[in-house]
Amino acid sequence: MKQIAISQLGQLLDAMAARQTLYLPVDQGKTAQFNRYESGMELSKQLNTSRSAKDLFFPQVEHLADFQVEGTSITVKPRQQQEEDFILFGVRACDAKSFEILDRVFLAEPQDTFYAARRSHATVVTLACGAPEETCFCTVFGIDPADPAGDVTAWLTGEKLCMRANTKKGEKLLAALPLLEDGGEQAVVAAQAAIHAVTDKLPLKTLDLTGFDGEHLMEKFNSPHWAQLSESCLGCGSCTFVCPTCQCYDIKDFNTGSEIQRLRCWDSCMYSDFTMMAHGTNRPTQLERFRQRFMHKLVYFPANNEGIYGCVGCGRCLKKCPISMNIVKVIKTLGEGER
Amino acid sequence: MQEQVRAKAKALLESGVCDRILAWKTGEFFYDVTPAVFTSVEEIDRDLVYNAFCGANLSKYLIAESRKGGKVGAFLKPCDTYSFQQLLKEHRIRRENTYIVGVACEGMADIETIRAAGIKGVTGGDFTGETLTFETLYGAKTMARAEALAERCKFCKSKKLVIFDELLGEQGEEQDVGRFDEVKRLEAMSDEERFAFWQQELSKCIRCNACRNVCPACSCEKCVFDNPNSGVENKAAASSFEEQLFHIIRAFHVAGRCTDCGECSRVCPQHIPLHLLNRKFIKDINEIYGPYQAGADADTRPPLLTYETGDPEPRRGDAG
Amino acid sequence: MQVNGQFQPTIVAFCCNWCSYAGADLSGTNRLQYPANVKIIRIPCSCRLNPMFILRAFQRGADGVILCGCHPGDCHYTSGNYFARRRMTLLFNMLEFLGIERERTRVEWVSAAEGAKFAATMNDFVATITRLGENKRLEDLRCKSK
């Protein structure tokens, strides 16, 4: 365990940024976003960023390749992948867990090389949650906000920032930061106890996921409740785009006039043109689209991934949905009295 | 007010005046209420809420609900009635299939504003008085109701219910509370400053389309931005131009029809002040073509669907 | 675009089929010169101009966009240009509100008989945009030719 006085946080961030590009949550108006660190920037005090940390590995738009057409020949020019190491600082426990879920999608064969390159070049420094909010339910998925994963775990303990390396990469990073001094174990234990005192009071901690598995797939799929749950859904993509585990994308070509750019961009199963292909018969109504999103997270994903849910309980969709329909309401409605 | 709304909803169902009721449904917390359709007295008793967080504009739902057959009763706030009347004018809602209960409004509180004021982890409280009291994970907190209001309610243009079959509470009046002040502040800036302001704001856009989908004026069957054959459909917002294009066109398409209900800014997950674009159009229309309020009446032609032969020419930049 | 180190603006002129498009023709037959920077797009009426066309012209590399239509009162379809006038008034105000230079957009009424006015208008507009410089605020970098 290493530690440093909070008053020296700026120097520590400068030291990290001097080694590698550093990304951290900073305040931007009312919300916080992961931004590239420049000296003088302050770490956001908000519990979570508006968009999740998945942006750093799976950005909203990924430039895959360019095509140049000359006469009858087409030259394909692949775009450069991540080649430099970078540090991702201040990731919360829920977002750190979401990386494991995204890994299962993008690192399975055939591997997504753009994602893999970003993952392999990143050192993730997580930060234990100071003050969980009522929308948090990560504990339901076995996540401990007081002890997040990542290459390095950090805690803000009043006057100190304490850091613990979890992996070789993490050890290497901490070893390269001479500002740090040994110690902090006691403070971390106290900080964890304080966080657990709050998580014990979280209103959503008793959420029951019993019955959300491959065994009950048809039962859940055919539930009569979907109609009522989806009736006020506006079909926007807010929930999808702020979600740390949503991983669907579309591939679009853009003609610049001199070449074709191939872009991979986030897509949302809530959109009417999601998975629209030549047959023209993708999911016809918002009911099917809405059902797909939650069936994917709560049933299909665990059925294919040893019971791991496609949700980490970060609570972003609870805060961002324009009409306050969210995964918690779905779990409660479909879970109760259905078994 | 909740008791009045519930009683009215039940009476409308029981008397057979309405087959369905469009109102707000309780959530996990006090603030996450969802627009919902109720068909039985039991559902109303169990789930119907009307509190200081019923901000969603129900008029948009009436486009679909009024076409389903049977009669739908809806509880509309003053700003919702403007949207409703505007949609009637555009023949988007079947009036004969609706029964409107106008609900007087004191302004809706906004949970994001409350959170921004440092009141976090809220689990409950009392929101009926002038001072809101909150129970939070970190102890009890209070906030003046006036402080907790949504931005659009702080600058409410009218508490008047412009169309209804029945009224709950007192009819209100139009009011002038300086809703164009922020537009004027931006207008007073230099081009460079305004450009920087909007680049900063629009760069936050994640193209989730919430502003468009929630907008009662955005009622096209298929939006040009969702049409792959339009040439502008682009989920890959790879250039800042994409956001400029989307937001200019979104605001322009509702110019003269936007009632300034403020839903676009309420739902923006990135807190982009999108209503300022709409208000700029409203302000210009008022100044150039005379005062006009979309949805205020059933007859006046919208300013972009009419003209005067003596209209001024577009101002030229080089001529000052 | 830069030609021999000098800025040469790209101008898109949307011209009504019934007046200014013929006006452009007339300026040609009268051997009146206007710069080759102007790319004319014919539209059936000034009212046909969707705001999207203007924005996309800027995206695709225009430095200035001008709309030419029939004089108020002379619209081939009676009133199209009156509607266009309202729309452009509001749209140009909005572009300015977003910090985009007011000079980049213009409306001019040019009849089929006004070949001289067409050439003068284009000369003046090209000169204005040349002074103003490249469109940087409503550009799509992807479309800048390489």
Residue B234: its pLDDT value, please? 75
* CATH of segment(s) C2-133: 3.40.50
Residue range A124-151: mean pLDDT, rounded: 96
- C146: contact with A, CB 8 A cutoff: yes
Residue range A63-91: mean pLDDT, rounded: 93
How many angstroms away from the CA of C120 is the closest CA of chain B? 15
Q: What is the pLDDT of residues A38-63, one digit of tens each?
A: 999 999 999 999 999 999 999 999 99
Amino acid at A230: S
Which residues from chain B sit within 8 angstroms of residue A27, using beta carbons? none
Both A89 and A142 in one domain: the answer is yes
Is residue A259 domain-resident? no
- Sequence-distant (≥ 6) Cβ neighbours of residue B305 within 8 angstroms: B256, C83
Chains in touch with C (≥3 Cβ pairs < 8 A): A, B
Is residue A140 domain-resident? yes
Task: Name every residue in C having a CB less than 8 A away from some CB of B.
Answer: 51-52, 55-56, 58-59, 72-73, 79, 82-83, 85-107, 128, 137-142
Please give the interface size between B and C, counted as residue pairs whose CB atoms are below 8 Å apart.
118
Which residues from chain C sit within 8 angstroms of residue B198, using beta carbons? 98-99
DSSP code for C141: G
Both B241 and B260 in one domain: the answer is yes
Q: Are the C-beta atoms of residues B226 and A271 closer than 8 Å to each other?
A: yes
- Sequence-distant (≥ 6) Cβ neighbours of residue B231 within 8 angstroms: C56
DSSP code for C135: -
Q: What is the pLDDT of residues C45-63, one digit of tens each?
A: 999 999 999 999 999 999 9
Asked if pLDDT for residue B31 goes beyond 50, the answer is: yes
Confidence band, pLDDT 50/70/90 cuts, at residue B319: low
> A113-121 and A93-106 helices cross at what angle (nearest 10)?
140
Cβ of B186 and C103 within 8 Å?
no
HEC string of chain B equals CHHHHHHHHHHHHHCCCCCEEEEEECCCCCCCCEEEEECCHHHHHHHECCCCCCCCCCHHHHHHHCCCCCCEEEEECHHHHHHHHHHHHCCCCCHHHEEEEEECCCCCECHHHHHHCCCCCEEEEECCCCEEEEEECCEEEEEEHHHHECHHHHCCCECCCCCCCEEECCCCCECCCCCCHHHHHHHCCCHHHHHHHHHHHHCCCCCCCHHHHHCCCCCCCCCHHHCCCCCCCCCCCCCHHHHHHHHHHHHHHCCCCCCCCCHHHHHCCCCCCCHHHHHHHHHHHHHHHCCCCCCCCCCCCCHHHCCCCCCCCCCCCCCC
Q: What CA–CA distance (Å, rounded) separates C82 from C71?
A: 9
Residue C145: its pLDDT value, please? 63
- B203: contact with C, CB 8 A cutoff: no
Q: What CA–CA distance (Å, rounded) separates A236 from B36?
A: 17
Both A11 and A50 in one domain: the answer is yes
Amino acid at B162: V
Interface test mutation site (partner B, options A47, A238, A273, max chain B beta carbons within 10 A): A238
Q: What CA–CA distance (Å, rounded) separates B157 from B66?
A: 27
Q: For residues C52-90, b (16+ Cβ closer than 10 Å) or e, as one string?
A: bebbbbbbebbbbbbbbbbebeebeeeebbbbbbbbbbb
Total of domains in chain A: 2
Cα diameter, chain B: 68
- B212: contact with A, CB 8 A cutoff: yes
Q: Cα-flanking dihedrals φ and ψ of residue A98, to 5°? A: -65, -30
Asked if pLDDT for residue A110 goes beyond 90, the answer is: yes
Residue range B110-135: mean pLDDT, rounded: 92
Which residues from chain C sit within 8 angstroms of residue B274, using beta carbons? none
Confidence band, pLDDT 50/70/90 cuts, at residue B135: very high
Both A227 and A109 in one domain: the answer is no
Both B62 and B201 in one domain: the answer is yes
Both B163 and B232 in one domain: the answer is yes
Q: What is the pLDDT of residues A244-255, one digit of tens each?
A: 999 999 999 999
Chains in touch with A (≥3 Cβ pairs < 8 A): B, C
Is residue B318 domain-resident? no
Is residue A69 domain-resident? no
User: Three-class SS of residue C57?
Assistant: helix
Cβ of B281 and C94 within 8 Å?
yes
Both B139 and B281 in one domain: the answer is no
Chain A nearest-CA residue for B28? A329
Both B140 and B277 in one domain: the answer is no
The helix (run of H) or strand (run of E) holding residue C106 is strand C105-109
Cβ of B249 and C52 within 8 Å?
yes
Both B118 and B202 in one domain: the answer is no
- C58: contact with A, CB 8 A cutoff: no
- Tell me the average pLDDT of chain C: 95
Judge if pTM exceeds 0.90.
Answer: yes
Is residue B226 domain-resident? yes
Q: What CA–CA distance (Å, rounded) separates C118 from C109?
A: 9
- Tell me the average pLDDT of chain A: 94
Asked if pLDDT for residue C146 goes beyond 70, the answer is: no
Q: How many CA atoms does the CB half-sphere of A134 hold within 13 Å?
A: 21
**Which of B148, B177, B212 delimits the end of a domain?**
B148
Residue B70, token pair as written in the block: 């049977």
- A328: contact with B, CB 8 A cutoff: yes
Confidence band, pLDDT 50/70/90 cuts, at residue A336: low
Residue for token digits 């109504």? Answer: A285
- A323: contact with B, CB 8 A cutoff: yes
Cis peptide before B312 (omega within 30 of 0): no
Asked if pLDDT for residue A338 goes beyond 60, the answer is: no
Asked if pLDDT for residue A65 goes beyond 90, the answer is: yes
Interface test mutation site (partner B, options A31, A36, A63, A234, max chain B beta carbons within 10 A): A234
User: Three-class SS of residue C70?
Assistant: coil
Residue B320: its pLDDT value, please? 44
Cβ of C146 and A257 within 8 Å?
no
Cβ of C143 and A256 within 8 Å?
yes
Both A184 and A312 in one domain: the answer is no
Both A240 and A115 in one domain: the answer is no
Which residues from chain A sit within 8 angstroms of residue B228, using beta carbons? 273, 276
Residue A337: its pLDDT value, please? 46
Residue B82, token pair as written in the block: 């403007």
Nearest CA to B79 among B25, B153, B150? B153
Residue range A80-107: mean pLDDT, rounded: 95
Is residue B314 domain-resident? no
Q: For residues A252-279, b (16+ Cβ closer than 10 Å) or e, as one string?
A: bebebeeebbbbbbbbbbbbeebeeeee
Is residue A194 domain-resident? yes
Residue A30: its pLDDT value, please? 83
Pairing of strands A21-28, A73-78: unpaired
Both A189 and A220 in one domain: the answer is no
Cβ of A326 and B206 within 8 Å?
no
Both A193 and A221 in one domain: the answer is no
> Which domain range does residue B34 map to?
2-110+149-305
Chain A nearest-CA residue for B221? A272
Residues 205-244 of B with CB under 8 A from C: 224, 231-232, 238-239, 241-242, 244
Confidence band, pLDDT 50/70/90 cuts, at residue A98: very high
Residue range B148-164: mean pLDDT, rounded: 95
- C78: contact with A, CB 8 A cutoff: no
Q: What is the pLDDT of residues A183-235, one digit of tens each?
A: 999 999 999 999 999 999 999 999 999 989 989 999 999 999 999 999 999 99
Cβ of A261 and C145 within 8 Å?
no
Both B172 and B188 in one domain: the answer is yes
Is residue A72 domain-resident? no
ipTM, two decimals, is: 0.94
Residue for token digits 């729309």? Answer: C87
Both A23 and A168 in one domain: the answer is yes
User: Three-class SS of residue C109?
Assistant: strand
Amino acid at A38: E
Both A193 and A219 in one domain: the answer is no
Cα diameter, chain A: 70
Cβ of C86 and B224 within 8 Å?
no
Q: What is the pLDDT of residues A288-327, one digit of tens each?
A: 999 999 999 999 999 999 999 999 999 999 999 999 999 9
Both A165 and A281 in one domain: the answer is no
Asked if pLDDT for residue C39 goes beyond 80, the answer is: yes
HEC string of chain A equals CEEEEHHHHHHHHHHHHHHCEEEEEEEECCEEEEEECCCCCCCCCCCCCCCCHHHHCCCCEEEEEEEEEECCEEEEEECCCCCCCEEEEEECHHHHHHHHHHHHHHCCCCCCHHHHHHHHHEEEEEECCCCCCCCCCHHHHCCCCCCCCCCEEEEECCCEEEEEECCHHHHHHHHCCCCCEECCHHHHHHHHHHHHHHHCCCCCCCCCCCCCCHHHHHHHHCCCHHHHHHCCCCCCCHHHHHCCCCCCEEEEEEECCCCEEEEEEECCCCCCCCCCCCCCCCCCCHHHHHHHHHHHHHHHHHHHCCCCCCCCCCCHHHHHCCCCCCHHHHHHHHHCCCC
Nearest CA to A257 among C7, C59, C64, C12? C59
Confidence band, pLDDT 50/70/90 cuts, at residue B231: confident
Is residue A171 domain-resident? yes
Interface test mutation site (partner A, options B25, B28, B115, B267, max chain A beta carbons within 10 A): B28
**Which of B126, B148, B170 delimits the end of a domain?**
B148
Q: What is the pLDDT of residues B186-200, one digit of tens each?
A: 999 999 999 999 999
Cα Rg for chain A, rounded, in angstroms? Answer: 22
How many angstroms away from the CA of C134 is the closest CA of chain A? 18
How many angstroms away from the CA of A51 is the closest CA of chain C? 25
Total of domains in chain B: 2
Both B141 and B281 in one domain: the answer is no
Interface test mutation site (partner C, options A79, A253, A256, max chain C beta carbons within 10 A): A256
Residue C110: its pLDDT value, please? 97
Q: Cα-flanking dihedrals φ and ψ of residue B47, to 5°? A: -120, -20
Is residue B156 domain-resident? yes
From the number of C-beta atoms within 10 Å of its C-beta (0-12, 13-18, 19+), residue C93 rates as buried
Residue B16: its pLDDT value, please? 95
Residue range A142-155: mean pLDDT, rounded: 96
- C143: contact with A, CB 8 A cutoff: yes
> Which domain range does residue A292 map to?
214-249+268-335
Both A51 and A164 in one domain: the answer is yes
- B223: contact with A, CB 8 A cutoff: no
Q: What CA–CA distance (Å, rounded) separates A245 from A302?
A: 13
How many angstroms away from the CA of B102 is the closest CA of chain A? 21
**Which of B90, B124, B148 delimits the end of a domain?**
B148
Residue C48: its pLDDT value, please? 96
Asked if pLDDT for residue B40 goes beyond 70, the answer is: yes
Q: What is the dihedral of CA B181, B182, B184, B185, to 10 degrees?
A: 120
Cβ of B137 and A134 within 8 Å?
yes
Residue for token digits 């600082």? Answer: A89
